[in-house]
Amino acid sequence: MATGQEVRQAAWSVLGAVLQEHRLLAEVLADSAGALAPLSPPERARAQRLALATLRQMQRADRLLGPHLRRMPPAPVMNALRLALVEIHAEGAPAHGAVNAAVTLLRRDKATGRYAGLANAVLRKAGQAPGWDTLPPQSLPGWLRKPLITAWGKASVTAIEAIQAAAPPLDLTPKDPAQAAALAEALGAEALPTGSLRLSAPGQVSALTGYSEGAWWVQDAAAALPALLLAPQPGEHVADLCAAPGGKTLQLAAAGARVEAVDISAARMARVTENLARCGLTARTHVADALSWQPQAPLDAVLLDAPCSATGTIRRHPDLPFVKDGTELDTLVALQARLIDRALTLLRPGGRLVFCTCSLLPEEGEAQITAALARHPGLAVLPAEAPGIAPDWRSSEGGLRIRPDHWADRGGIDGFYMAVLARAAPVP
């Protein structure tokens, strides 16, 4: 059993990996030789939560630290100070315990030991500063903020930043939509208008009612919509290109479709297989490049959840702004267009394609659809219909644009873009 100090030590080292080494949190957490590896599952969860909260609220901590620091100490020292302030101000930890813990962290490490006295003095003052919740929420990095202001306006970007400051709720997709109300009751969850279930303080996911029976899976309410728009009919032959970790594959299989799940990553595809097994669902899995994978016969429908900047998921992945700098964007946009073109070749005449990305950038959403329509005469946008769609999600070219500040009073939603396309049927 690790002590609170070891949990903090692990969170501190996660912060270093993200902020100094620019490693994605998912990669750091999956590292079997990493700082979290020796911890028990609840301790890992606590360390992870602390690191996530610190990444979400770093700028607030820095604002409180600024007046007490004549010069910026080395990055690991700053991270220990931020961690302690987030514990005190955002997590409600007793100040003396969090301050002592930060001082111990720094003292234990040769490289930071000489800053222990400074940390003690600074944290005693900044730990008592009032008004944490009134400090502005952390702003998005410039490379993302500017285009988002151009696309959605300053007020929307400020609202997105406010949502990103808080830990997001946990959304679940029920395997059987008819069981949603009963499951909501058993879990104490809110039944959302789109059919997802929402828990604001979920605790350990695997301990929740229905987990071991596979009655639901974790999936943001926005991420559950593309499969609802595709609306596969029982027995339809459909492909989920870019399928892992498999939330949409599970939805398609649960609707009774014959599903081909395709993903280029074998490691990620293993998670699809695990998720299918837990939920008692079946799909054929293919570790393959969607640009060259070929089904045996033309398909009724394809779901393409293309690789993207993932800028709609920053509230769940607050490490992204510190690891990414937007330089991959052009490559991703070009890949998305090639994947759309490829997906269209897999459809029978009249077949449907749902294109989606968890991006907030129009280049990875609206503009992809406009460009695809220009490239493919006869391609059409079908109405995007599913329960609970709010009128302000509809975009002019016929897709849905969902931003994290939508449903702000319910705790927000991941940013997503999605549209349904249909390949022209032959003239009879």
Ligand X SMILES: C[S@@+](CC[C@H](N)C(=O)[O-])C[C@H]1O[C@@H](n2cnc3c(N)ncnc32)[C@H](O)[C@@H]1O
Would you say 423 and 349 are in contact if contact means Cβ atoms under 8 Å apart?
yes
Smaller CB distance to ligand X: residue 291 or 380?
Answer: 291
356 labelled catalytic: no
Examine residue 221 and tell whether it contacts ligand X (CB under 6 A). Answer: no
Question: Quick one: how far is CA 332 from the chain centroid?
Answer: 17
Examine residue 364 and tell whether it contacts ligand X (CB under 6 A). Answer: no
Can you count the helices (H) and strands (E) in the chain? 15, 12
Phi, psi of 296 (to 5 degrees): -75, -25
Name the minimum Å distance from CB 242 to ligand X.
3
Q: Is 133 annotated as a binding residue?
A: no
Among 290, 329, 360, 418, binds ligand X (CB under 6 A): 290
Q: What's the Cα-to-Cα distance from 319 to each of 17, 47, 58, 140, 338, rounded to whole Å?
A: 10, 15, 11, 11, 28
Examine residue 289 and tell whether it contacts ligand X (CB under 6 A). Answer: yes
Q: How many Å apart are CA 376 and CA 423, to the nearest integer?
A: 9
Examine residue 39 and tell whether it contacts ligand X (CB under 6 A). Answer: no
Name the minimum Å distance from CB 240 to ligand X.
6
Convert residues 261-280 into a mask of x (bound to ligand X by CB under 6 A) and - (unbound). -xxxx--x------------
Residue nearest to ligand X (CB): 242
Smaller CB distance to ligand X: residue 185 or 289?
Answer: 289
Among 30, 121, 182, 291, binds ligand X (CB under 6 A): 291
Buried b (16+ CB within 10 A) or exposed e, 109-143: beebeebbebbeebbeebbebeebeebebbebeee
Examine residue 305 and tell whether it contacts ligand X (CB under 6 A). Answer: yes
Q: How many Å apart are CA 373 and CA 353, to the nearest integer?
A: 13
Name the minimum Å distance from CB 394 to ligand X.
22
Convert residues 228-267 into a mask of x (bound to ligand X by CB under 6 A) and - (unbound). --------------xxxxxxx-------------xxxx--
Give me the catalytic one of 279, 308, 356, 358.
Answer: 358
Convert residues 385-404 into a mask of x (bound to ligand X by CB under 6 A) and - (unbound). --------------------
Q: How many Å apart are CA 62 and CA 232, to the nearest integer?
A: 49
How crowded is the C-beta side of 375, counted as CA atoms within 13 Å? 12
Question: What tokens does 225 get?
Answer: 């919509």
Q: How many Å apart are CA 360 and CA 363, to the nearest integer?
A: 9
User: Which residues are catalytic, by number?
Assistant: 358
Q: Enumerate binding residues for ligand X (CB under 6 A).
A: 223, 242-248, 262-265, 268, 289-291, 305, 307
Annotated binding site for S-adenosyl-L-methionine: 242-248, 263, 289, 305
